[in-house]
């Protein structure tokens, strides 16, 4: 039983570390999409008199990046909730094993 408890404990810890790393990766993607929104806005502002295609492209980049930024933000929100559930479940299982 102790071997099973140790392996289960290690499995939970590995899962928590893995999910936290994935959340960090999602945060990097969210920052990247935020940067693209800023670049699109700057392109729209500074190049608005150059060409209609440049304006349409920059607005499109901004809109798509903003939507992706919101989607990644939602994934981060759900991921944090999931990590909390895994930690709570881990504590519950370990408490039952100890008792």
The dihedral through the CA atoms of 46, 47, 49, 52 has a sign that is: negative
Which ranges of 1-99 would DSSP assign to H, the alpha helix?
2-46, 52-98
- Taking only the tens place, the pLDDT of each residue in 24-61 is 999 999 999 999 999 999 999 998 898 899 999 999 99
Residues 63-83 have a mean pLDDT of: 97
Domain ranges of the chain: 16-98
Query: Would the pTM count as exceeding 0.95?
Result: no
- Averaged pLDDT for residues 61-87: 96
* pLDDT at residue 57 in the model: 93
Q: What integer is the mean pLDDT of 54-78? A: 96
In contact, 57 and 42? CB cutoff 8 Å:
no
Tokens of residue 33, six digits = 């999409």
- Give the model's confidence band at 16: pLDDT under 50 very low, under 70 low, under 90 confident, else very high: very high
DSSP state of 36: H
């Amino acid at each position: 039983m102790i071997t099973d408890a140790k392996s289960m404990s290690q499995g939970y810890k590995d899962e928590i570390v893995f999910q936290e790393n994935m959340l960090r990766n999602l945060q990097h993607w969210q920052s990247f999409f935020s940067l693209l929104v800023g670049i699109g806005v700057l392109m729209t502002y500074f190049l608005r008199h150059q060409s209609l295609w440049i304006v349409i492209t920059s607005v499109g980049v901004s809109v798509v990046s903003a939507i992706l930024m919101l989607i990644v933000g939602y994934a981060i929100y759900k991921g944090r909730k999931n990590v909390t559930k895994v930690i709570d479940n881990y504590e519950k299982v370990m408490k039952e094993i100890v008792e």
